[in-house]
Structure 1
């Protein structure tokens, strides 16, 4: 009990028992520790929340659907400023990938999605909330109205290019699996970061990738109901940097320039055989600041 008071005073019995065994070599059954803590007044039984709706059944196969959410929380308990944890969880297995960012932005969403694809491949569908990253408030064009399509955000467009069905939840409860995972991580990950003395994002992401997530997935991920993996591998040479970029259509001016933000991009002479003034091109700005110009699938020099 002295060790518990010194190191694990705000831990529940389950997590405390795990840490005592793994880090201190002290093996105590969870129920025994729970009884000790109750008797000493160091822990109270948690009242279960009343269930108001039935939980949706898991998807059957790995990669059938991934849920993604950004969780803003004092992850570092004052050792640094607030950060957002982008969390992705496979619906069938509960396998988790997560990464820290300063803010929840489209770049954070793309980077975390890239991390998932790098490890597992492209999932069939992605379940997200109605954040402006994923939901466009723009009025549909006449062409979109006629075709039954809706305006897309930059992230939505990228998922369409990847062949990923983007599903937007209408309430936090609808994406309950990732919401419950957020609460779990706000307990277990916060305490793990504290024990490891982690206080900056770079170190935290290394800790996540190399230590915390491998152990967490080994302990909590489950087998899918149906064997097999529905993730699709990317073809060799697939230009994911272009897909995960801010893209806009622009018209080539008479002086062979294209306006982008507050500046003009000068097209090289070698491009003059592929486009003419008045033609429309696609300008892509990547996360590293690089700007590329395309006509169809051809990149202009």
Structure 2
């Protein structure tokens, strides 16, 4: 017997007992209604229905009828088939979003989750642990950016890749995300140039203590602020505070974003049939990030922005590797096993023994600077690029 039917039987017994005592003049209608927990008008209506139809008049006529909001059997079978074939492994929430968007499904997420759990397709979540207080968000976009990389098998059948993500602390909006073979200085500069060029300069950047971000005397030790890395030098040049995280919990906001990305992005890439890094990065930039931010980004606590607009600054010349070298007797500069030949210059006959700076950009190209003047630009292999150099 279902619980509703049992409760109806209890209510019937109680009503008949109260009705008998009411007819014996033990109490009036108002007192009888209070004992039943209903209004006086409802008690009078029950008495009339019992007088006309007996106990049958008191039965709940909704019992045994199919709810008008019930999901039809054919749609339930369709949902199960879609999950088993096309959306296997999706979370209930992610799957329900695709049902609503792509399959004109109008029933609730709660039904979808319960249905999948009843079929054994989705496990019930474990009970949440003890409450922890999250670090308050910054009130304005641009006050604090998070940057981190996650190594994962993002593309089916492909080796492990790093996803470099830069997001805002105030809104959790992802400003930049792309796949690379390995996280490092070049990927960091690429991400920062994308974000700074589109939004402006933030007040601070929050990262882990990876070797391309900070130098540490011992593994897992304190960062050495006196010996900045190439990333630290570039951020200091732009006046951006670089904050180091000392535990995974400190990076909780970005860690939670990666949990979402490892679950959703991998499935979206597979669903779109994407198998190459180039296609994946285009899909992430043009399709996934707008949808992700619309779904997960929140409104900042305050109106406005802390980003600082930049004008007249070539970010590419700052967000790059810069190292000093001495020009050899052959008027060449040695850099990372490359020989960079300085072309003829109107500045002087040659630059033998001169101290110059070599810049390596995130796309692998190079340039040689003597003071503020560019002496030459080179491709990945060190071959001179045919670009006119100003006198």
- Please give the range of the TM-score, normalised by the shorter of the 2 chains: 0.7 to 0.9
Q: Is 1:286 aligned to residue 368 of structure 2? A: no
In the other structure, the counterpart of 1:39 is: 118
TM-score (norm 2): 0.68
Query: Once the 2 structures are TM-superposed, how far is the Cα of residue 53 of structure 1 from its aligned partner?
Result: 4.5
Q: Is 1:7 aligned to residue 82 of structure 2? A: no
Per chain length, whose mean CA-contact separation is higher, i.e. which structure has more relative contact order (CA < 8 Å, sep 6+)?
Answer: 1
Matching of residues 66-145 of structure 1 within 5 Å: 66-78=145-157, 80-96=158-174, 97-137=176-216
Unaligned runs of 5+ in 2: 1-79, 219-223, 377-391
In the other structure, the counterpart of 1:200 is: 276
Q: Is 1:299 aligned to residue 374 of structure 2? A: yes
In the other structure, the counterpart of 1:186 is: 262
Distance 1:186 1:156 in 2: 29
TM-score (norm 1): 0.87
Query: Once the 2 structures are TM-superposed, how far is the Cα of residue 51 of structure 1 from its aligned partner?
Result: 4.6
Distance 1:230 1:247 in 2: 29
Matching of residues 229-240 of structure 1 within 5 Å: 229-236=305-312, 238-240=313-315
Query: Once the 2 structures are TM-superposed, how far is the Cα of residue 49 of structure 1 from its aligned partner?
Result: 4.9
State the secondary structure of the residue aligned to 2:346: helix
In the other structure, the counterpart of 2:137 is: 58
Query: Once the 2 structures are TM-superposed, how far is the Cα of residue 217 of structure 1 from its aligned partner?
Result: 0.6
Distance 2:298 2:140 in 1: 11
8 Å Cα contact 2:186/2:361 also seen in 1: no
CA deviation string 1:101-158 (max 9, x = no partner): 111121111112222223222211111111111012479xxxxxxxx95111111111
State the secondary structure of the residue aligned to 1:271: coil
Unaligned runs of 5+ in 1: 140-147
Cα distance change of structure 1 residues 28 and 194 upon mapping to structure 2, 3 Å threshold: farther
Cα distance change of structure 1 residues 67 and 288 upon mapping to structure 2, 3 Å threshold: closer
Q: What is the total number of aligned residue pairs between the two structures?
A: 290
8 Å Cα contact 2:186/2:362 also seen in 1: yes
8 Å Cα contact 2:156/2:275 also seen in 1: no
CA deviation string 1:211-236 (max 9, x = no partner): 11111111211111111111122213
Distance 2:125 2:366 in 1: 53
C-alpha root-mean-square deviation of aligned residues, in Å? Answer: 2.4
Distance 1:25 1:32 in 2: 15
CA deviation string 1:137-184 (max 9, x = no partner): 479xxxxxxxx9511111111111222211111111111111100000
Distance 2:331 2:295 in 1: 58
8 Å Cα contact 1:17/1:27 also seen in 2: no
Q: Is 1:174 aligned to residue 250 of structure 2? A: yes
8 Å Cα contact 2:154/2:160 also seen in 1: yes
CA deviation string 1:58-110 (max 9, x = no partner): 011100011011011111132x2221110111000110131111111211111
